[in-house]
Chain A
Amino acid sequence: MTIIKASPTPALPAPLSETSVIGWMQKNLFSSVFNGLLTIAALYIVYMVVKGMWVWGIADAVWVADSRRECFSINPDGACWAGIFAWVDNIFYGRYPREELWRVNLGILSLFIWMIPLWLPRVKAKISIGLTTVFLYPFLAGYLFSGGDKGIFMQIMLTAAIVCLAGNTIHATIGVFTGRSLPEFLSSLFGKKNVHEKTQRNIFLGIIALSFVSIYVWQMSWSLGGVSWTKWGGLFLTFVVSGIGIASALPLGIILALGRRSKLQVARVLCTSFIELFRSVPLITVLFMATTMFPLFMPEGFVLNRLVQVIIAVCLFNACYMAETVRGGLQTIPRGQFEGAHTVGLGYWQTMGLVIMPQALKHMIPNIVGNFISLLKDTTLVSIIGLFDVLNMLRAIGKDRTWLGLHIEPLVFGALLFFLLCFVMSKYSRHLEEKLSTNQNN
């Protein structure tokens, strides 16, 4: 008997479960009697839920009507989406003056234009794009949203923001087509490609100064009407609060986390107690504290409006949660990295900024996005304090005279809205995590 055969054994056919639907079903759904019963039970539940939602939400639903009464007369069993459509402006913008809505839209659009380059692979200098988004965009958006008289500071910042937005956009367009940055492109345009770096920089700065001056002069010619913050509302307000929260939570959180890990005793004790204080109480108590106690903390005659109070509370609260995330990320960095940085002569801030943070942030991305998601969800709490955010707007539909008692549909709509936002964010963070982890293995 020979063990070694002259001809290779023919390959077996692929297992049934990999080739046919029935085989797959047998393997994954009906592998045993118990599993089969489980599948049937699950199928029944899915069928009931989907059917119920389909009939209520789509098949029997009323899409066009003028009032809830009319909805009832058309079909009393289905959802009355007509109420949502009638209130859609309120849900998204609150009571923002209708003729000024373009300002909100423009503000949101400019944010997109500002941030899209961050996702384009050929664009360079993404860190400075990100930084300008955090530090300059708020002035542009703030003025667009609230309007009113421009102070001298506001004029300067607004001009800087506009110059930056234009520069960013041109830079990104050039980057996409040529793969070069704006300064490089400009110097090659003027034929100064081979001159000294300083000359190139001076040309670039000159162009910036020129555009700054011209835009400054241009923006003096117009101003926008003031819109009080009490008119802000709906999803717009939710985005304002959570956006400021997101933008400030990370830097504040990094500072707090560094403080908590610091060798300075005083800083460590202070940061630790601050973090633990805010993490051990519910957000709603912090919001209450902001609205009842902040007015007492302020010097006499200095009044913060409620929106600012709420935003401060949200920022502090989320900074503490972010601090713990950052601390977790810092702990994943091996000691050798700190020691290596010290050995090459870097000081504390250089070590942190150039060596530790870039690595730690990469580890933290999923958790940071998770924090952002919970921040977005938590922003609905401001409705309890009496701000007309998206949830309060949705609840106001049921109190409106024509749509009296329409409660469930708005809530379902709101849940759907948040689900979409949060789900997309969490899927994106999963994608990012996978992308970064493969990079690491290479």
Chain B
Amino acid sequence: MATWFGTTNLRCKKSEYQGENVVAVSDNNKEYVHIKPKEQFDFFHDKRVRSAFYQFLIAAAVAWFAWSLIGNTAQNLESRGMHTGFGFLKVAAGFDSSFKLISHEPGVGTYGRIFIIGALNTLYISALAIILSTMLGFFIGVLRLSSNWLVSKVALAYVEIFRNTPILIQIIFWYIGVFSLLPRVKNSIDLSFGTGNLLLNNRGFYIPWPIPGDLLWLSGVAIIIAVIAVVILRRWAQNRQDKTGQIFPTFIVSAALLIFLPGIVYFMTGMPLDWDIPKLEGFNFVGGASLPPSFMALLFALTIYHASYTAEMVRAGILSVDKGQDEAARSIGLRKKWAMSLVVIPQAMPAIIPPMISNWMSTIKNSSLAIAIGYPDMVSLFMQTSLNQAGYAVELVGMTMAFYMFVSLTISWLLNIYNKRVQLVER
């Protein structure tokens, strides 16, 4: 009996077989017996042995490799007199960051704080770039599908040009070729039509910054109430439509709710919001908030570059929906607009979202190219400046990579949840 029959029992004539491993007598025909094949254990050709052996071999090789790396590193660190450990995170850093969302004083703030500043800067610019590039990308993607020949070709040119050029060249171009060539502070470009609120010059982009007053929280509460009201309204409208078929103008009513309810509260509480407007004092602007040219250049480059990818994804997603879906929707009397938003787009979303989220991840990763133009993000602040100042190469590089891994893995975890939900809805 060959082993490869596994555990399947064989049927044999009773008279022909006198072995030991008989399992049972056959039910319908007493002439036959079921016999269990004798398993021959062949050590050198057994699948499990082999698999265990290979796994052991791989594990041993990797362990040896890791061990020798760690050994070498320890030896090298010792012979170069380099310190190790995370104690440096509590040591004061003697340098400042040119852009920061939380306060930091050189000589007082620690390296731990520098890490947080870098992380926040990276997340801040990535979040802005993700939002803007997704909006721009959807817009370009829709233009790409336009029935207008010229418009779709212009969108195609946009996509091809920006997708096929390295992002690093684009970042440097925006920085050196655009935002550094802006006029000096005295001749700032006013983007708010002469009111002096939005000012652009070669030191950056100056915007007014809100100073909340005492009763501003009431307006905030009003916004929350308005949002809840809108949710309830939509549910009610949906129910009514399901029952009676009447369509309620949800969009206009909810827009009015969202605008007027907080607005009325805001005016009734006496407009408790002041704006800190940038003013020219001496050679520079004081007040308001400012975004340095490197920030603007990185934001522009990331937005434009990733929008070209998003556009292609949107286009591919919409085209992946069968044409018959649109035609069927049109034939039951839906207008083009409704056919698109109720039938085509919901089906395109599962095809658009996963690549778009990986595009968001690469936006975050590409924001690390800030190092080329001196925007103080995670890599440039922590991996470069701190490394030059403090040493601790292994710890700094490890922490930076861990930060990016944490962000990426969080996002892909969310993506997995989304994918599961979409699959459940489908079946």
Note whether A and B form a binding pair.
yes
Which residue numbers of A lie inside 8 Å of B, CB to CB? 28-29, 31, 35, 38-39, 42-43, 45-46, 263-267, 270, 276-277, 279-285, 288-289, 292-293, 295-300, 373, 377-378, 380-381, 383-384, 391, 395, 398, 407-408, 411-412, 414-415, 418-419, 422-423, 426
Q: Which of A279, A281, A282 has the most CB of B within 10 A?
A: A282
Are A411's CB and B173's CB within 8 A? yes
A380–B369 Cα distance when bound, in Å, is 11
Are A285's CB and B408's CB within 8 A? no
Contact among B55, B79, B164 with A264 in the assembled complex (CB-CB below 8 Å): B55
Are A300's CB and B76's CB within 8 A? yes
Would you give the 0/1 interface string for B19-53, flagging 1 where the beta carbon is closer than 8 Å to chain A?
00000000000000000000000000000000100
Is B325 on the interface with A (CB-CB < 8 A)? no
Contact among A263, A293, A398, A426 with B394 in the assembled complex (CB-CB below 8 Å): A293
Are A293's CB and B148's CB within 8 A? no
Are A295's CB and B168's CB within 8 A? no
Chain B residue at smallest Cβ distance from A299: B72
Is B132 on the interface with A (CB-CB < 8 A)? no
Please judge, given known A-B contacts A39-B148, A267-B58, whether A295 and B401 are in contact too, CB under 8 Å. no
A373–B401 Cα distance when bound, in Å, is 25
Q: Which residues of A contact B150 (CB under 8 A)?
A: 28-29, 39, 42-43, 46
Chain A residue at smallest Cβ distance from B384: A288
Are B164's CB and A265's CB within 8 A? no
State how many angstroms separate the Cβ of A173 from the closest Cβ of chain B: 35
Q: Which residues of A contact B164 (CB under 8 A)?
A: 373, 377, 418-419, 422-423, 426
Contact among B59, B68, B154 with A266 in the assembled complex (CB-CB below 8 Å): B59
Please judge, given known A-B contacts A45-B154, A293-B397, whether A284 and B379 are in contact too, CB under 8 Å. yes
Are B76's CB and A29's CB within 8 A? no
Are B166's CB and A378's CB within 8 A? yes
Are B405's CB and A277's CB within 8 A? yes
Are A414's CB and B169's CB within 8 A? yes
Please judge, given known A-B contacts A296-B77, A411-B172, whether A281 and B147 are in contact too, CB under 8 Å. no
Contact among B51, B73, B170, B366 with A297 in the assembled complex (CB-CB below 8 Å): B73
Are B397's CB and A288's CB within 8 A? yes
Is B215 on the interface with A (CB-CB < 8 A)? no
Is B200 on the interface with A (CB-CB < 8 A)? no
A289–B148 Cα distance when bound, in Å, is 49
A395–B164 Cα distance when bound, in Å, is 20
State how many angstroms separate the Cβ of A292 from the closest Cβ of chain B: 4
State how many angstroms separate the Cβ of B390 from the closest Cβ of chain A: 13
A45–B168 Cα distance when bound, in Å, is 26
Are A285's CB and B151's CB within 8 A? no
Q: Which residues of A contact B72 (CB under 8 A)?
A: 296-300
Further 14 A-B residue pairs, CB within 8 A, beyond A28-B148, A38-B146: A31-B148, A38-B148, A38-B151, A267-B55, A279-B408, A285-B401, A288-B384, A295-B76, A297-B69, A300-B76, A300-B79, A381-B369, A383-B372, A418-B166
Please judge, given known A-B contacts A29-B150, A281-B404, A298-B72, whether A407 and B368 are in contact too, CB under 8 Å. no
Is B177 on the interface with A (CB-CB < 8 A)? yes
